[in-house]
């Protein structure tokens, strides 16, 4: 596949489609052997930003997955769902009564920060090598351990009991369904997600999102370059001769001011080489090279 077919597409995933199904639909826009993958699952109930990696972009999915995300969710109070969303079996909470907006907002704010969150039973988390949702669908008891996630902010946009709309800014691995479930537990009335839309992933937002009815030329023009995945990393530049050495797996002495850790590496001609790591011995080591060195 040509280099121009490497990068990222911002897809507006439609309701009712799996993330894998969306990737398969996007394949029509690229050569037959093109590698494609998504960078963070959206449930069929959810719509919105699904970042599709194309070609060499599939080597950088980890960097997109760990970017901050923004969601808008419609939550219904007064009932519970076995899937924590509207697609499951809904059971009304006996004795549930309307709550004041201030009480709902106060409860929401208790989830801001680093919190321990138990993923939904119907999720892709693995239990002894099997997906939790596969076990749950067979009627098995699914016990998942809490995981630390980060919620940066929650805004209560609208509230009219039993429905509320929220915007959530959060880090990797946060389940909005689990947030709704836990909100219902905290309020003592039960809750589940009715609607969910992801509006942003790092620098990828709705303004450049494609729909699946786009044609091939539109999709190819909308392909964003590989550097978008590395915007959270410090950028360093090295000479072309050093780039050749790094791409061959050699570590380089490093005298720059950057602290130890990962960096996006460019050559002197502004070509992205890949990801390097500055170690404690002040060496720039190859971590994930995207560029192939010239062969003698």
Q: Are residues 137 and 80 in the same domain?
A: yes
Whether residue 87 is predicted with pLDDT greater than 50 in this model: the reply is: yes
Last residue of a domain, one of 228, 245, 276: 228
Same domain flag for 163 and 190? yes
Predicted confidence (pLDDT) per residue in 181-238, tens digit: 999 999 999 999 999 999 999 999 999 999 999 999 999 999 999 999 999 999 999 9
Is the pLDDT at 136 greater than 90, yes or no?
Answer: no
| One domain for residues 113 and 195 | yes
Domain count, the chain: 3
Domain with 240, as residue range(s), is: 233-289
- CB-facing half-sphere around the CA of 14: CA atoms within 13 A: 10
CB atoms within 10 A of CB 69: 24
Instruction: Tell me: do 155 and 256 sit in the same domain.
Output: no
Contacts of 123 (CB under 8 A, 6+ apart): 131, 132, 133, 144, 175, 177
Is 148 a member of any domain?
yes
94 lies in the same domain as 240: no
Q: Are residues 196 and 218 in the same domain?
A: no
Q: What is the pLDDT of residue 2?
A: 43
> What is the spatial distance between Cα 79 and Cα 163, in angstroms, rounded to a whole number?
11
Using pLDDT thresholds of 50, 70 and 90, give the confidence band for residue 145.
confident
Of the candidates 2, 5, 12, 43, the residue annotated as catalytic is 43
Q: Is the peptide bond before 58 cis (omega within 30 degrees of 0)?
A: no
Q: Report the pLDDT averaged over residues 156-184.
A: 97
Q: What is the pLDDT of residue 12?
A: 97
| Residue 36 and residue 134 in one domain | no
pLDDT at residue 228, rounded to an integer:
97
pLDDT by residue (tens digit) across 106-121? 999 999 999 999 988 7
Q: 221 and 149, same structural domain?
A: no
In a domain? residue 295: no
In this structure, is residue 296 part of a structural domain?
no
> Could you tell me if residue 294 is inside a domain?
no
Are 146 and 260 found together in one domain?
no
pLDDT at 32: 87
Rg of the chain over Cα atoms, rounded to whole angstroms, equals 22
Is the pLDDT at 100 greater than 70, yes or no?
A: yes
Same domain (yes/no): 164, 185: yes
Same domain as 208, residue 139: no
pLDDT in tens, 273-293: 999 999 999 999 999 999 877
Q: Rounded to an integer, what distance in angstroms lies between the CA atom of residue 275 and that of residue 264?
A: 5
Would you say residue 132 has pLDDT above 70?
Answer: no
**CA-closest candidate to residue 262, choices 63, 7, 2, 33:** 63
What tens digit of pLDDT does each residue of 8-22 get? 999 999 999 999 999
- Can you tell me the distance from the alpha carbon of 252 to that of 255, in angstroms, rounded to the nearest whole number? 10
Banded model confidence at residue 1, pLDDT cuts 50, 70, 90: very low
Catalytic status, residue 43: yes
Question: Percent of the chain beyond pLDDT 70?
Answer: 91
Reply yes or no on whether the pLDDT at 169 is more than 60: yes
Phi (first) and psi of residue 281, to 5 degrees: -95, 10
Model-level pTM greater than 0.85? yes
Query: Which domain CATH number covers 211?
Result: 3.30.2350.10
Whether 183 and 108 map to the same domain: the answer is yes
In percent, how much of the chain has pLDDT > 90? 82
pLDDT of residue 67: 96
85/232 Cα distance (integer angstroms): 32
Other C-beta atoms within 10 Å of 272: how many? 18
Q: Mean pLDDT across the chain, nearest whole number?
A: 91
pLDDT at residue number 9 = 97
Confidence class for position 3, pLDDT limits 50, 70, 90: very low
Q: Which residue has the higher pLDDT, 129 or 201?
A: 201
- Note whether residue 182 is domain-resident: yes
Instruction: Say yes or no to pLDDT of 82 above 70.
Output: yes
Is the pLDDT at 295 greater than 60? The verdict is no
CATH number at residue 243: 2.30.130.10
For residue 7, being part of any structural domain is answered with yes
Question: Using CA atoms, how far apart are residues 224 and 228, in angstroms rounded to an integer?
Answer: 7
Q: Is the model's pLDDT at 27 over the cut of 80? A: yes
């Amino acid at each position: 596949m040509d280099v121009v077919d490497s990068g990222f597409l911002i897809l507006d995933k439609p309701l009712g489609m799996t993330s894998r199904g969306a990737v398969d639909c996007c394949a029509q826009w690229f050569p037959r052997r093109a590698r494609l993958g998504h960078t963070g699952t959206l449930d069929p109930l959810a719509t919105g930003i699904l970042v599709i990696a194309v070609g060499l972009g599939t080597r950088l999915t980890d960097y997109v997955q760990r970017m901050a995300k923004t969601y808008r969710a419609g939550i219904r109070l007064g009932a519970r769902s076995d899937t924590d969303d509207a697609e499951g079996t809904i059971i009304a909470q006996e004795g549930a009564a309307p709550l004041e907006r201030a009480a709902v907002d106060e409860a929401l704010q208790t989830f801001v920060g680093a919190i321990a969150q138990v993923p939904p039973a119907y999720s892709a988390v693995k239990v002894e090598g099997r997906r939790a949702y596969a076990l749950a669908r067979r009627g098995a008891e699914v016990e998942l351990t809490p995981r630390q996630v980060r919620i940066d902010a929650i805004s209560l946009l609208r509230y009219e009991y039993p429905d509320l709309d929220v915007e959530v800014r959060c880090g990797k691995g946060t389940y909005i369904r689990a947030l709704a479930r836990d909100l219902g537990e905290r309020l003592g009335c039960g809750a589940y997600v009715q609607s969910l839309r992801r509006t942003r992933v790092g620098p990828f937002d709705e303004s450049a999102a494609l729909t699946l009815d786009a044609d091939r030329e539109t999709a190819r023009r909308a392909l964003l370059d590989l550097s978008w995945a590395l915007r959270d990393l410090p950028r360093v530049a090295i000479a072309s001769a050093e780039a050749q050495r790094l791409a061959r797996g050699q570590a380089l002495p490093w005298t720059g001011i950057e602290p130890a850790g990962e960096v996006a590496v460019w050559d002197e001609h502004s070509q992205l080489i890949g990801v390097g790591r500055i170690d404690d011995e002040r060496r720039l080591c190859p971590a994930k090279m995207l560029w192939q060195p010239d062969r003698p």
